[in-house]
């Protein structure tokens, strides 16, 4: 699995919800984050 860097606040939220968040949801969040933070070509 690839490694990503997240803010301390997001890390705490994900750690607290560890048993409630599945991997598919995390991939969707990562995809949305990348789309919002990647400059348009």
Confidence (pLDDT) at 27: 83
Three-point CA angle 2, 20, 9, nearest 5°: 65
Confidence of residue 41 (pLDDT cuts 50, 70, 90): low
**Whole-prediction pTM:** 0.44
Cβ within 8 Å of residue 21, ≥6 positions away: 14
pLDDT at 16: 83
Give percent above pLDDT 70 in the chain: 93
Question: What would the 3-class secondary structure string for 9-27 be?
Answer: HHHHHHHHCCCCCCHHHHH
């Amino acid at each position: 699995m690839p490694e990503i860097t997240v803010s301390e606040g997001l890390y705490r939220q994900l750690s607290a919800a560890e048993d409630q968040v599945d991997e598919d949801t995390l991939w969707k969040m990562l995809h949305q984050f990348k789309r919002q933070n990647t400059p348009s070509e």
